[in-house]
Structure 1
Amino acid sequence: MRPPRSAIAIRHVAFEDLGLLAPIMERAGWSVSFCDAPVDDLADRAIRDADLLIVLGGPIGVYETETYPFLSTEIALLEQRLRRGLPTLGICLGAQLMAQALGGRVFPGKVKEIGWGPVELTADGKSSCLRNLHSKVLHWHGDTFDLPRGAVRLAANADYENQAFAYGRNALALQFHLEADPRQLEEWYVGHAIELSAAKVSISELRAATHALARPVAVQAEQVFGDWLLSIAPGDSVLGSSAGG
């Protein structure tokens, strides 16, 4: 029997975790452990060499390295992994950190994007693991990034042209929260209460939209993440610009 492959998920706040991705990874034979970025040693070799690294979201900016010094270590970690072609998944803040690690610029966007909304796939996106992205996705960000050199844009929408990108065959960055479990978003409403209030987002309306989309978003998470996990090749250091399928 094949031993489980090891994945490490980097968290920035406890409630933004793997969500829907956790059971998908378990069924795919992955053993997952967590690292909390603000307090754990991000330079640990086990993190650097993990079969898969997942960098999750959080309510801070990539450029706030003086306030949150661990971000610099996290960026350096991602630079090493992406240079080696090791499987890496970034979600929201994680995607922005990947963009920074690849030389892209991360900066405040023109609008705060919070709530369920569409993305449109590029031609490359339609031939990637995102081809099964048919429902709305959860947006929850105010920052954005320039597409890094060598990366392939996979998705965009009216407000932000860079919603997802691939880098080589083993790296995927998602600005949106495909992993968000509708059943766990009550924790987000509390944890991000100040941000939601400042953005004038109605929690009751967001809750209703979440309830209505619970089934389709779970199905598309299973399809997209399932396809991507099948496509990555731990230990394969061959780089190249592709849609990352």
Structure 2
Amino acid sequence: MSGATPRAILFQHDEPVSAGALAGALTRAGFALETRFREVRPADAEADLVVVLGGFMGVYEADQHPYLREELALLERRLHQRRPSLGVCLGAQMLAAVSGARVFRDPKGMVVGAQAIHVAPAGRQHAVFAGGPASLLVTQWHGDTFDTVRGAETLASSERQPQEVFSLSNSVGFLFHPEVEPPTLESWARAFPQALERAGRRLDDVLARDLPSLREARADSEGLLHRVAGYFAREVTAR
């Protein structure tokens, strides 16, 4: 890289699902952020970093959402070129899909709220988790899952998903939402009661138990975002 400020393109699919706290972490790591809402521009494939955020649609619904096909093609191209990408929730499922894994609606239903993830042996050696805690309490909000991603390194697992976090070359997928802070989870829980119902959760339970627990885990969450942003900044510099 030259001395130019590295660009990070953030693909957003629904208004409530933004980059959240991740935006600040990437900015502090030196990235200039550009957000795309349901569109891909020709030069985006050459960006220093691509971040694909979550959304209310599924990877298997790309026929109804043509921009997903464009993003999938972009991710596949970047993987082949070893250009770093970060996938969050839907974005992680898209990374899994372009690597040949089946993405499907989780027969166990939605996962909503605070849940522990456990760092795998390989994760303890990876920059996104190295030096951090062996287990973290994170925010979950998804109804889809995927089969094992072949060729990926498992960095962390959860009770429901053995590849909760995985790496493919210098790209990383997070099925959970590292960018979501407690106020955002509260706003989602109040705005989307049908998701809580699918998850077998009650609003009062999420507010009374999950939010305080996630507030207590804030330092761990901030540390994770700091390491994630730093990892990608170093990968970009190395290119």
**TM-score interval, smaller chain:** 0.7 to 0.9
Instruction: Give 1:87's match in structure 2, choosing from 80, 84, 88.
Output: 84
Alignment of 1:209-220 (within 5 A): 209-220=209-220
**Matched residue of 2:63: which SS?**
coil
Task: Establish whether residue 154 from structure 1 lines up as the match of residue 193 from structure 2.
Answer: no
Alignment of 1:156-195 (within 5 A): 156-168=157-169, 170-195=170-195
What percent of counterpart residues are identical? 31
Cα deviation code 1:112-166 (max 9, x no counterpart): 2111111122111122222425431111112111232221111222222121100
Cα deviation code 1:150-187 (max 9, x no counterpart): 2111122222212110011x211000111111122333
**Matched residue of 2:166: which SS?**
strand
Q: Distance in 2 between matches of 1:218 and 1:87?
A: 26
Higher deviation after alignment, 223-232 or 53-62 = 223-232
**Ranges in structure 2 where 5+ consecutive residues have no aligned partner:** none
With the length of structure 1 as denominator, give the TM-score of the two structures. Answer: 0.86
Alignment of 1:1-245 (within 5 A): 3-37=4-38, 40=39, 42=40, 44-111=41-108, 112-128=110-126, 129-131=128-130, 132-133=132-133, 134-168=135-169, 170-232=170-232, 233-234=235-236
Q: Is the 8 A contact 1:178 1:217 kept in 2?
A: no
Cα deviation code 1:166-221 (max 9, x no counterpart): 011x2110001111111223331244332223433211221233431344443223
**Matched residue of 2:14: which SS?**
coil
Q: Is the 8 A contact 1:51 1:235 kept in 2?
A: no
**Matched residue of 1:58: which SS?**
coil
**Matched residue of 1:135: which SS?**
strand
Quickly say closer, same or farther: Cα 1:191–1:102, change in 2 above 3 A. Answer: farther
Q: Is the 8 A contact 2:9 2:33 kept in 1?
A: yes
Q: In the alignment, which residue of structure 2 is the partner of 1:243? A: none
Query: Structure 2: which amino acid aligns with 1:45?
Result: P
Query: Structure 1: which amino acid aligns with 2:197?
Result: S
Quickly say closer, same or farther: Cα 1:152–1:191, change in 2 above 3 A. Answer: same
Q: Is the 8 A contact 1:140 1:176 kept in 2?
A: yes
Number of residue equivalences? 231
Please report the RMSD computed on the Cα atoms of aligned residues, expressed in angstroms: 2.0
Higher deviation after alignment, 87-96 or 134-143 = 134-143
Report the CA distance between 1:77 and its aligned residue: 0.9
Q: Distance in 2 between matches of 1:199 and 1:215?
A: 21
**Ranges in structure 1 where 5+ consecutive residues have no aligned partner:** 238-245
Higher deviation after alignment, 76-85 or 192-201 = 192-201
Q: Higher helix fraction: Structure 1 or Structure 2?
A: 2
With the length of structure 2 as denominator, give the TM-score of the two structures. Answer: 0.88
**Matched residue of 1:98: which SS?**
helix
